[in-house]
Amino acid sequence: MARERKTTGNRKRLAEEVRRPSFLPSALSPDAGDRPACLDKQSVGATSAVGATSDWLVIGRRALAILSVATLLAFAYNSASPVGIRFRNSASSPSNGSSMGVEKPARPSFPAESISSASSSLQAPPPVAATTNAKGTTPDTTATAPAKPADIALNPKPVVAAALGTNPAPVTWAVLKPRLAAGEVLLLDARAKAPYEAGHIPGAILLSIFSSTDEFAAFRRTYPTNTSLAVYCGSASCPLSQLLAERLVKEFGYQHVEHMTTGYMEWQDSENGKPEVTVSSVAPRPIAADTSGPMPLPVLWDGARGRVEGGELTLVDIRTAAEYAAGHLPGAVSLPAESSSAAIAEFRRNQQPSKPILIYGTWTGSSQTFDYGRRLMKEHGFGRVECLHDGFVDLRLKRTAKAPKI
């Protein structure tokens, strides 16, 4: 058996000697199976450091060859594929990859109570011609004219999502694009105001969980509940669109709500597109005391800072005790996410019942922070929990005047 295998191996190698193109150096000849390449050209006794080095050289060269072939094939396939990734010039990107655009210098402005449009009804998005494109050119791939909301309100069409029985239903941009072009669906941007104004999917209007009750009411008046809606936010890790979608379904009874799960990032990757830059008609309001259901309210540091400093919120660090000891936001108390129920109950007894708590974790946009906040409300009876979208790591790196001193 062993001899048989050996002879087969020898024959194979012999065949390869013949097949090997003459322009290949002998070191690059394909070796059959698992034999180290050095054995092909050196006597067994002379396996030295030189042999080992050239061996690795050969492997390295082959690895490079595999990588180049893979890269070539990959990019060729990607550019041909209808679902390929479209690379953009990231320098001109309006959103720097943060899930809600909060790292942008422009803070989401929550004009304190000065909402002129809060009472006015929600206006339709400006017609396409009036909006300015980022570069003033007609976007090639996004030439789909966004539907006028009036048309949507008049011709609501049932969507597939409803047939499947899930509401809100996940959806991808590829599915949404033609329906948007046909005016069958109204697109909602669930992010904060600043990233929306910096760039959004053409035709999308701003409505987020930061919007006021009045704005929601106005929206409800303008669009009947059989309007097809699709909601997006920054990226897959952003909770805002899911929250908005659930609220539109549960609280306002919209029957066809879809949730574009990968959000603005997917649109950017798909369309190589110029976003529509516009000044929104719906102004967001400061975080109002209208938590509905046992959901923590995601907030941004810039928006919450004033209330933290004014002592209206108890700042709670949910990282481990060791991480807390190594540095934390000023005034924060520690309640690690892995705390026992007894420890949490103890914490709650010492907590003023009327005072909301604001929890923060290590990472920006982490679902862990949000889930913990939800648990605090649901299982431990905290009346009002807000969770900081910004993570400790990013807050520490912030170099603005508004940044907390740590």
Partner 1 sequence: MKTVIIRWLFGVLFLWAAISKIGNPREFLGSVYAYELPFPRPILQGVAVVLPWVELLCGLLLIAGFWSETAVLGVVALLGIFVLATGQAWARGLKIDCGCLNLDFLGPGLSSSFKFIETTAFAFFRNIALLGLIAWASKGRI
Near partner 1 in 12-51, by CB under 8 A: 30-34, 36-37
Helix ranges (DSSP H) in 81-189? 149-154, 160-164, 173-181
Tell me the window of 115-123, 158-166, 265-273, 302-310 that interacts with partner 1 (CB under 8 A): 265-273
Q: CB-wise, 45 or 310, nearer to partner 1?
A: 45
Q: Max Cα separation, the chain? A: 91
Beta bridge partners of 225: none
Q: CB-wise, 235 or 280, nearer to partner 1?
A: 235
Distant-in-sequence, close-in-space partners of 89: CB < 8 Å, separation ≥ 6: none
Is position 137 an interface residue for partner 1 (rule: CB under 8 A)? no
Q: CB-wise, 19 or 399, nearer to partner 1?
A: 19
Q: Which of 103, 214, 269, 323 binds partner 1 (CB under 8 A)?
A: 269
Q: CB-wise, 149 or 275, nearer to partner 1?
A: 275
User: Quick check: 245 and 161 in contact, CB under 8 A?
Assistant: no
Return the CA Rg of the chain.
Answer: 29
Distant-in-sequence, close-in-space partners of 13: CB < 8 Å, separation ≥ 6: 31, 32, 40
DSSP-assigned states of every residue in 247-301: HHHHTT--SEEEEETTHHHHHHHHH-PPPEE---SS---S--S---SS-PEEE-H
Tell me the window of 178-186, 263-271, 283-291, 328-336 that interacts with partner 1 (CB under 8 A): 263-271
User: Quick check: 384 and 292 in contact, CB under 8 A?
Assistant: no
Is position 277 an interface residue for partner 1 (rule: CB under 8 A)? no
Three-class DSSP category at 78? helix
Is position 69 an interface residue for partner 1 (rule: CB under 8 A)? yes
Tokens of 218: 């106005």
Binding-site size, partner 1 (CB under 8 A)? 46
CA–CA dist 292, 329 (Å, integer): 28
Q: Letter for the amino acid at 17?
A: E
DSSP code for 116: S
Q: Which of 117, 131, 237, 272 binds partner 1 (CB under 8 A)?
A: 237
The interface mask with partner 1, positions 362-391, x = CB under 8 A, is: xx-xxxx--x--------------------
Near partner 1 in 163-192, by CB under 8 A: 172, 174
Near partner 1 in 78-117, by CB under 8 A: 78, 81, 83-85, 87, 90, 93, 97
Shortest CB 96 distance to partner 1, Å: 8
User: Quick check: 285 and 116 in contact, CB under 8 A?
Assistant: no
Q: CB-wise, 131 or 362, nearer to partner 1?
A: 362
Q: Which residues bind partner 1 (CB under 8 A)?
A: 30-34, 36-37, 59, 62-63, 66-67, 69-71, 73-75, 77-78, 81, 83-85, 87, 90, 93, 97, 172, 174, 235-237, 261-262, 265-266, 269-270, 362-363, 365-368, 371
